[in-house]
Amino acid sequence: MKRSLIDLFRKKELVIKKIREYFEKTGAVEVFTPYISLYPNLDPNIYPVEINIEKSDGKKLKAYLHTSPEYSMKKILSRLKKDIYQICHVFRNFEGSKLHTVEFMMLEWYRVGFDLDMLMEDTKNIFVEASQELFGKTSILFRGKSYDLTDWEKITVEEAFYRYTGIYPDQKEKMYEFLKKSRIKHNNLKSEEYETNFYTIYSFYVEPNLGKEKPTFIYDYPPEFSALSKIIDGKGKRFEAYINGVEIVNGYQELTDPVQLKVRLEKDKAEKQKNGFEYPLDYDLLEAVKDMPECSGASLGIDRFLMILLNKKNIKQTQGLNWI
């Protein structure tokens, strides 16, 4: 047990060291942001861990452990206007599975002047460098299959939907009919709930197939799922990276229009309110985005990354102690 724990920590140390070396040699600055914030990320699918703080003067505050360093890093980016990265612990409430823990480690980075294709190449380089450091080669074994980390497939959301379901994501009525007739029983289906139907099809019928034969980038999402990415030619310019059905990276060509950003954040805030959660809007972020350069950014779950590199079945096997 002691020897296996030492081995795990040494391998994790090697990967994190190699990530830092990669960003240093490509000109990025490592930054450091607070874990506690008064303004949580408003992504409708992510919930923060709330905390109550009492300062030495008796002042009491409601605050949140960050779900990612995104907001703080964008404020830094608006001032530095150059490539930045960070490795930190993040916290997300209501998580728990073989792929999720409430606390986990994240790499987040931003590249000034990069488009989505350049960010995908950057992501691929991180995978290759880490594998070379651990194994002296660019191929890994995960879930019984060998993967060459230099050879990635790129597929649009439209192509993936059609490949695995025979329908396109803009065929809303067909999506509803597909779910009604599918081999898996889905309850409380409604034809007008497009976003719910999209996520159900994506989660059950598309995502498990992504990256089965080779590492895969899926990109160009419908506008409804663009999150905080730019929308160009009717497509949300974002990607997710998969190996054997497991998502490891989420990347955006970042939205830099403060007016559009405010609209999207207010929409996300309203979605949270529908579910009974009242969160404040970070107006400092809106101000910072006015000075943010054109850029692309991504986040990578380090524990899940290690899970794939080391061919583990459960994310907790890469964390060492029993993380919540």
Counting residues of the chain whose pLDDT is more than 70, the rounded percentage is 100
Angle, CA of 39, 232 and 294, to the nearest 5°: 55
How does 27-53 read in b/e, with b if 16+ C-beta sit within 10 Å? ebeebebeeebebbbbbbebbbbeeee
Of 51, 86, 93, residue with least CA distance to 69? 86
Cβ atoms of 67 and 94 closer than 8 Å: no
The pair of structure tokens assigned to 235 is 């497509």
SS (H, E, C) 46-93: CCCEEEEEECCCCCEEEEEECCCCHHHHHHHHHHHCCCEEEEEEEECC
Name the residue ranges covered by the structural domains of the chain: 2-152+214-318
What is the Cα–Cα distance from 125 to 111, expressed in whole angstroms? 14
CATH superfamily of 2-152+214-318: Bira Bifunctional Protein; Domain 2 (3.30.930.10)
Question: What is residue 44's predicted lDDT score, i.e. its pLDDT?
Answer: 86
pLDDT tens for each residue of 14-49:
999 999 999 999 999 999 999 999 999 999 899 999
pLDDT at 3 > cutoff 90: no
Mean pLDDT of all residues in 44-63: 95
pLDDT tens for each residue of 107-122:
999 999 999 999 999 9
Place of tokens 């490592």: 30
What is the Cα–Cα distance from 118 to 112, expressed in whole angstroms? 11
Orientation angle between helical segments 2-25 and 302-309, nearest 10 degrees = 110
The pTM score is 0.95
pLDDT tens for each residue of 254-269:
999 999 999 999 999 9
pLDDT tens for each residue of 203-242:
999 999 999 999 999 999 999 999 999 999 999 999 999 9
SS3 164: helix
Question: What is residue 321's predicted lDDT score, i.e. its pLDDT?
Answer: 84
**Residue at 74: amino acid letter:** K
